[in-house]
Chain A
Amino acid sequence: MSFSEIDGSGAVLVAAQRRVEMVVLKADLSNKTTRATLKKLLGGPVPAPRKIVNNVAWMAPDELLIMVPDGSSADGLVALLNAGVKAPVLAVDVSDARAVFSLKGNHAREVLAKGAPVDLSPGAFGPGDFRRTRLGQVAVAFWLEAEDEFQLVCFASMREFMFDWLVNAAQKDSLPGYF
């Protein structure tokens, strides 16, 4: 993981990552054959709603977001999925369309809870959980990469705005102290 911009002045480390390879897959995920095929192609089960498993995230009843593992390429995965899934499928490289951020620190939950209408208490949102929601006025999705580290994606054109938003929300003297 490499970063293009880091701010460590706040209670949480905010880092904008360099390009992360990712692919969107749209298919009928309720179809058993498709699920079985995807399990084989992705090397793991199709995640349940609002979950992320093995870097594959549930985005919608017919949509997955797949973080391309190191050593593979988005192009390769797109080709694999298009060829492998026999049912109608849409698989596209969206690496350039997204900005990815890391939020690292004990208080990352509180920073996100300032903008996302999501129950972020440790009992309700843990490793493996994934939410497609909004942060302030920006559409985002996030999940826990580690116990104290969130990963967040938004549209690439919002990268600067999102970074500023996160740095503002992470200011040291502004934590609600709830979680």
Chain B
Amino acid sequence: MSFRLPEGGCLIDRGQPVSFSFNGKAMQGFAGDTLASALMANDQRMVGRSFKYHRPRGIMASGVEEPNALMNMEEGARFEPNQRATTQEIFAGLQARSQNHWPSLGFDIGALNNHLSRFLPAGFYYKTFMKPQWAWKHVFEPIIRRSAGLGQVPGARDADRYEHFYVYTDILIVGGGLAGFEAALEAGRAGARVLLLEQSPYYGGRAMVDDIELGGRSGPAHIAHLLAQLERMENVTLRLRIQGAGVFDHGYALGYERVNDHAPDTRPRHRLWRIRAARIISATGALERPLSFAGNDIPGVMLAGAARDYIRLYGVAPGARTVVACNNDDAYRTALALHGAGLEVPLIVDARLKGGGELAEQARSLGIRVANGHAIARVNGGKQVTGVEVCLQSGTGGAVETIACDCVAMSGGFSPVVHLWSHCGGKLNWDAANGMFTPDPARPPTDHNGEGFVLAAGSAFGALQTDACIKSAISAARQAGEEVGRSLAEEPAPRRVRQEQVASPLPVWAMPAKAPYALRAKSWLDFQNDVKVSDVQLAAREGFESVEHTKRYTTLGMATDQGKLSNINGLAVLADSLAAEIPQVGTTTFRPPYTPISLGAIAGEAAGRLFKPTRKTAMHEWHARRGAIFEPVGDWLRPYAYPQQGERVQDAINREIRATRNGVGLFDASTLGKIMVKGPDAGRFLDLVYTNMISSLKPGKCRYGLMCNENGFLIDDGVVARLSEDSFLCHTTTGGAGNIHAHMEEWLQTEWWDLEVFTLDLTEQFAQIVVAGPEARKVLEALGGLDVSRAALPFMGFVEGELAGIKARVFRISFSGELSYEIAVPAGQGVLLWNLLLQAGGEHGIAPYGTEALHVMRAEKGFVVVGDESDGTVTPYDLGMGWAVSKKKDDFIGKRGMQRSFLTAEGRKQLVGLRTLSDREKLPEGAHAVADGKALGHVTSSYFSPTLQHPIAMALIQNGQARMGEVLEFRADGKLYKARVVDPVFYDRKGARQDV
């Protein structure tokens, strides 16, 4: 049993009880408790069921490495699965539920798997769910999906908010333990800007728990002493509850702040710190490793350091009677702590024949029995530990003694947390004496200058003893300081450290050394994924020699803890099975983030209303008030149609088209890109950018142009107006404005830097309004101020002046095929002009029309839309627009591309019109023409034409031009459509209507 001790616990406030619930049961803890410590204080050590065999699992650790105690937290819109009880601080009203069992934690049907475990070995899924093939979709996958996974998927929309924060600093220190603090003090003294992040809610790390002595002060007193100095330094910032989650190129690091997980309120829940640091010191400590003995997963078996943490930090006894099992001296600290708290320690099982150093002597002198050269053969118990069987470490597990106990504290040595060192490519050395991988300072992750930018300090560097830890921290801080130009000549005064004499650890990868299969099959390596020693050995026998393959095959080191406890033990077993050395087998890749971070933190504020920028034109409010339906085009919102009261959308579109074709329509074209190109070489430049000739254009005139990429494929189109001898205004598509401007600048800056040309994106400066239809001229004339007659302003010309007193540029261009004026005015005048035009057009039945009416009208005219008729693999020739590709120019972007054999070959898809044989059938867009089982091409645009009273469509069809009159078959939506290949221009082939 576990329980609250009558005294002790430096993090809890016994004066502040906190109520919470676990599986619906009301419980009480104290302020400062983690959910794990509070559960243990309530004698709740069993906290979940395992992933595969549904074995009872208990709290194993006291920090981020916890594999078992994962909870479904809270309810509804704040529900979140897989929250670690060991890092979740409790708050009043907290609701936690255990995971991975049905119907209850105590009685779980899935535990049948435990008895079937011999039939569920490594690779079980791959071997079993093979045939029949149909069963995958209908049987296997649904079953696997239901049985796999840990927590539940949240059902409601997340109620919390999140944000990012950008920070720049000289030195980022990750870890607020002894090493981090000593490093911060040294770097701070030198005047460097320092940011120190600590993931937990308190500083000090192991110094708060282990009985160390520095400068005559205890660990906690020394930490307080350092903290007081650091808080006085203006150039040093210390932050709690932020994890250094990842290190990336160029000194970029992520800090994952859990702002109010410990005390939910209206603040953002998580904040992602996006940090740029010249140097990063990784002082992230070390993680204790479990020992692999049979039954090492039974609730009540835990890491020795964690057992000590619960006593010292939270005043919680992990058990009344604890057996300590170890291969190193550190675990003796746990025995001493247990003894000091008045708890029974019937035995310390030390795998080393010669036993430990000074700490072992202390234990013995207190009367604690130590069994050297011994091991745990197996743990007895089901839902909790009832005892252990002790055997010789060198043997096969024949028990020499059975000891009754309710807790086992184990320590298999330490693994430095090398994650941040390794994220960006830092290399590791194998320290055989201590059985651990440590950062190799000669092979650090390197920055853009080829210099190492991450340094490791303290036990993250492999410096497990206090004196070495401080030394490495000072050394890392001095090196980092020097490299950021902040160094002190004089070294700090050395600290007086009382350092115990320590005996070497003994690498123990299996306990006992010659454990038979029955024991190995109950010796867990990976608690979260239910991987045992026998599974890794099986994988090795089956040929999985690479540690990365073994990981995927057995699932060792996967899921939310990514093998924090299991990796080294697992690869040691693999190495042993392969008769290879551990460094030859190597580790799997350490990838950020260090622990899972919330998706909310990654998204930051970009959710809901702020998910994506929305661009609105100057007339947007008017459109909205008029009841427009909007469609997103790029980031813009454009009116799709303006249905009137009770009108169907399709009817609105037809009405808008008829109004424009028969009278006059009004269209908001402000979103079209408008790029100004100016300079003595502007004409030359545009000849290179467009496929057709632009330099021959006269001032005051417009020309339609095409742009291709280097491959000869169409990327944009639009009308170019020559404003003056040396300046042009290039209209682009709505979605293309930004890209085309960047495209122009790239060519200017990288290839044609000798051309004297300036470009500027003026898209937003102007509101652009189209007045189209036979009555358009009358409307403009009614406004007055400009001569817009055919003589003064012919088709493809433009004039500048004042229209109704507003400074305007009026283009005679047409995308509808009607007499059409596009009027550009400063954006701020857009609404005024729009209203004046509506007023003036009233007597002609003027109607605003949306993008869909525009698209139908352009399709009636056979005009292409980049992105509909083109898809990045279409040339101007394919679209029948060879007339817009200059034969005279020496060069332009795409010229050589278009000459490649397969772009000039026979059989390319060409643009055609399609007329369904039945006037009642509209072809679905994207439908494929199929003949003799082969696809000939597809429908690119398809509409019902209210003007012609029948459906019209355009398509890209193989050899389309040669197929005029042919009837093609299209299959889509389970139907067969027949359509005749026709000219894509359905309406006013001569273009008489626009040129009046």
Let me know if B265 and A173 touch, CB within 8 A: yes
Q: In the assembled complex, which residues on chain B have CB atoms less than 8 Å from the CB atom of A92?
A: 676, 760, 762, 765
Q: With A121-B168, A155-B615, A160-B614 known to touch, is A97 a contact of B762 (CB < 8 Å)? A: yes
Q: In the assembled complex, which residues on chain A have CB atoms less than 8 Å from the CB atom of B766?
A: 96
Query: Is B497 on the interface with A (CB-CB < 8 A)?
Result: no
Q: In the assembled complex, which residues on chain A have CB atoms less than 8 Å from the CB atom of B265?
A: 173
Let me know if A96 and B828 touch, CB within 8 A: yes
Q: With A88-B680, A94-B765, A174-B163 known to touch, is A137 a contact of B606 (CB < 8 Å)? A: yes
Q: In the assembled complex, which residues on chain A have CB atoms less than 8 Å from the CB atom of B921?
A: none
- Residues of B756-785 at the interface with A, using a CB-CB cut-off of 8 Å, are 756, 758, 760, 762-766
Q: In the assembled complex, which residues on chain B have CB atoms less than 8 Å from the CB atom of A169?
A: 163, 605
Q: In the assembled complex, which residues on chain A have CB atoms less than 8 Å from the CB atom of B726?
A: 88
Give the docked Cα–Cα distance between A156 and B618 (Å): 9
Nearest-CB distance from B636 to chain A (Å)?
Answer: 7
Give the docked Cα–Cα distance between A73 and B520 (Å): 85
Give the docked Cα–Cα distance between A24 and B762 (Å): 10
Q: In the assembled complex, which residues on chain A have CB atoms less than 8 Å from the CB atom of B168?
A: 119, 121, 124
Give the docked Cα–Cα distance between A58 and B167 (Å): 24
Q: In the assembled complex, which residues on chain A have CB atoms less than 8 Å from the CB atom of B610?
A: 136, 161, 164-165, 168
Give the docked Cα–Cα distance between A58 and B251 (Å): 27
Query: Is A98 on the interface with B (CB-CB < 8 A)?
Result: yes
Q: In the assembled complex, which residues on chain B have CB atoms less than 8 Å from the CB atom of A145?
A: none
Let me know if B615 and A173 touch, CB within 8 A: no
Give the docked Cα–Cα distance between A27 and B679 (Å): 10
Q: With A114-B605, A155-B615, A156-B764 known to touch, is A90 a contact of B679 (CB < 8 Å)? A: yes
Contact digits for A153-178, partner B, Cβ 8 Å, 1 yes 0 no: 00111111100110011000110101
**Which residue from B758, B764, B827 sits with its C-beta under 8 Å from A90?**
B758
Nearest-CB distance from A137 to chain B (Å)?
Answer: 5
Q: In the assembled complex, which residues on chain B have CB atoms less than 8 Å from the CB atom of A121?
A: 168, 193
Contact digits for A109-121, partner B, Cβ 8 Å, 1 yes 0 no: 0100111111111
Nearest-CB distance from B222 to chain A (Å)?
Answer: 27
Let me know if B266 and A164 touch, CB within 8 A: no
Query: Is B423 on the interface with A (CB-CB < 8 A)?
Result: no
Q: In the assembled complex, which residues on chain A have CB atoms less than 8 Å from the CB atom of B975?
A: none
Query: Is A95 on the interface with B (CB-CB < 8 A)?
Result: yes
**Which residue from A62, A137, A138, A157 sits with its C-beta under 8 Å from B617?**
A157
Query: Is B354 on the interface with A (CB-CB < 8 A)?
Result: no
Nearest-CB distance from A120 to chain B (Å)?
Answer: 7
Let me know if A24 and B760 touch, CB within 8 A: yes
Q: In the assembled complex, which residues on chain B have CB atoms less than 8 Å from the CB atom of A50?
A: none
- Residues of A27-66 at the interface with B, using a CB-CB cut-off of 8 Å, are 27, 62
- Residues of B596-649 at the interface with A, using a CB-CB cut-off of 8 Å, are 604-606, 609-610, 612-618, 636
Let me know if A156 and B827 touch, CB within 8 A: yes
Q: With A92-B676, A157-B615, A160-B614 known to touch, is A98 a contact of B764 (CB < 8 Å)? A: yes
Chain A interface extent, by class:
35 or more
Q: In the assembled complex, which residues on chain B have CB atoms less than 8 Å from the CB atom of A138?
A: 613
Nearest-CB distance from B203 to chain A (Å)?
Answer: 17
Determine the residue in chain B with the shortest Cβ distance to A156: B764
Give the interface centre of A117, A118, A156 by most chain B CB atoms within 10 Å: A156
**Which residue from B164, B193, B268, B765 sits with its C-beta under 8 Å from A96?**
B765
Let me know if A88 and B679 touch, CB within 8 A: yes
Let me know if B758 and A62 touch, CB within 8 A: yes
Query: Is B271 on the interface with A (CB-CB < 8 A)?
Result: yes
Nearest-CB distance from B733 to chain A (Å)?
Answer: 16
**Which residue from B266, B271, B609, B765 sits with its C-beta under 8 Å from A93?**
B765
Nearest-CB distance from B635 to chain A (Å)?
Answer: 8
Query: Is B902 on the interface with A (CB-CB < 8 A)?
Result: no
Q: With A114-B165, A156-B827, A174-B163 known to touch, is A88 a contact of B606 (CB < 8 Å)? A: no
Let me know if A19 and B237 touch, CB within 8 A: no
Nearest-CB distance from A11 to chain B (Å)?
Answer: 12
Query: Is B698 on the interface with A (CB-CB < 8 A)?
Result: no
Give the docked Cα–Cα distance between A136 and B615 (Å): 15
Nearest-CB distance from A105 to chain B (Å)?
Answer: 17
Query: Is B17 on the interface with A (CB-CB < 8 A)?
Result: no
Q: In the assembled complex, which residues on chain A have CB atoms less than 8 Å from the CB atom of B764?
A: 94, 96-98, 155-157
Q: In the assembled complex, which residues on chain A have CB atoms less than 8 Å from the CB atom of B827?
A: 96-97, 156
Q: In the assembled complex, which residues on chain A have CB atoms less than 8 Å from the CB atom of B274?
A: 117
Give the docked Cα–Cα distance between A155 and B766 (Å): 12
- Residues of B817-835 at the interface with A, using a CB-CB cut-off of 8 Å, are 826-829
Let me know if B613 and A161 touch, CB within 8 A: yes
Query: Is B267 on the interface with A (CB-CB < 8 A)?
Result: yes
Determine the residue in chain B with the shortest Cβ distance to A159: B616
Determine the residue in chain A with the shortest Cβ distance to B764: A97
Q: In the assembled complex, which residues on chain A have CB atoms less than 8 Å from the CB atom of B267?
A: 173-174
Query: Is B134 on the interface with A (CB-CB < 8 A)?
Result: no
Determine the residue in chain A with the shortest Cβ distance to B252: A117
Query: Is B166 on the interface with A (CB-CB < 8 A)?
Result: yes
Give the docked Cα–Cα distance between A115 and B276 (Å): 14
Nearest-CB distance from B256 to chain A (Å)?
Answer: 13
Nearest-CB distance from B241 to chain A (Å)?
Answer: 12
Give the docked Cα–Cα distance between A157 and B826 (Å): 13
Let me know if A114 and B760 touch, CB within 8 A: no
Q: In the assembled complex, which residues on chain A have CB atoms less than 8 Å from the CB atom of B758?
A: 26-27, 62, 88-90
Give the docked Cα–Cα distance between A88 and B680 (Å): 7
Q: In the assembled complex, which residues on chain B have CB atoms less than 8 Å from the CB atom of A95?
A: 765, 826, 828
Query: Is B909 on the interface with A (CB-CB < 8 A)?
Result: no
- Residues of A57-112 at the interface with B, using a CB-CB cut-off of 8 Å, are 62, 88-90, 92-98, 110
Contact digits for B799-841, partner A, Cβ 8 Å, 1 yes 0 no: 0000000000000000000000000001111000000000000
Let me know if A26 and B165 touch, CB within 8 A: no
Q: In the assembled complex, which residues on chain B have CB atoms less than 8 Å from the CB atom of A118?
A: 166
Nearest-CB distance from B215 to chain A (Å)?
Answer: 31
Give the docked Cα–Cα distance between A176 and B274 (Å): 13
Let me know if B756 and A157 touch, CB within 8 A: no
Q: In the assembled complex, which residues on chain B have CB atoms less than 8 Å from the CB atom of A124?
A: 168
Query: Is B279 on the interface with A (CB-CB < 8 A)?
Result: no
Query: Is B97 on the interface with A (CB-CB < 8 A)?
Result: no
Determine the residue in chain A with the shortest Cβ distance to B637: A157
Let me know if A157 and B616 touch, CB within 8 A: yes
Determine the residue in chain A with the shortest Cβ distance to B195: A178
Query: Is B678 on the interface with A (CB-CB < 8 A)?
Result: yes
Q: In the assembled complex, which residues on chain B have CB atoms less than 8 Å from the CB atom of A119?
A: 168, 276
Let me know if B756 and A88 touch, CB within 8 A: yes
Let me know if B166 and A116 touch, CB within 8 A: yes
Nearest-CB distance from A159 to chain B (Å)?
Answer: 8
Q: In the assembled complex, which residues on chain B have CB atoms less than 8 Å from the CB atom of A88?
A: 678-680, 726, 756, 758
Give the docked Cα–Cα distance between A136 and B605 (Å): 8
Determine the residue in chain A with the shortest Cβ distance to B830: A96
Q: With A88-B756, A137-B613, A157-B764 known to touch, is A165 a contact of B605 (CB < 8 Å)? A: yes
Determine the residue in chain B with the shortest Cβ distance to A165: B610
Let me know if A90 and B676 touch, CB within 8 A: yes
Determine the residue in chain B with the shortest Cβ distance to A119: B168
Nearest-CB distance from B763 to chain A (Å)?
Answer: 8
Let me know if A136 and B765 touch, CB within 8 A: no
Give the interface centre of A24, A157, A174, A176 by most chain B CB atoms within 10 Å: A157
Q: In the assembled complex, which residues on chain A have CB atoms less than 8 Å from the CB atom of B612?
A: 137
Q: In the assembled complex, which residues on chain B have CB atoms less than 8 Å from the CB atom of A161?
A: 610, 613-615
Let me know if B826 and A96 touch, CB within 8 A: yes
Determine the residue in chain B with the shortest Cβ distance to A98: B764
Give the docked Cα–Cα distance between A120 and B193 (Å): 14
Give the interface centre of B614, B762, B764 by most chain A CB atoms within 10 Å: B764
Nearest-CB distance from B471 to chain A (Å)?
Answer: 31
Q: In the assembled complex, which residues on chain A have CB atoms less than 8 Å from the CB atom of B680?
A: 88
Closest 4 CB pairs of A and B: A119-B168, A157-B615, A97-B764, A96-B827
**Knowing that A19-B828, A124-B168 are A-B contacts, what are 10 other residue pairs whose CB atoms are under 8 Å apart, sorted by A's residue number?**
A88-B680, A90-B676, A121-B193, A136-B610, A138-B613, A155-B615, A155-B764, A164-B609, A176-B165, A178-B237
**Can you sample 11 A-B contacts with CB below 8 Å?**
A95-B765, A110-B165, A114-B165, A114-B166, A117-B166, A121-B168, A136-B613, A137-B613, A155-B764, A158-B613, A174-B161
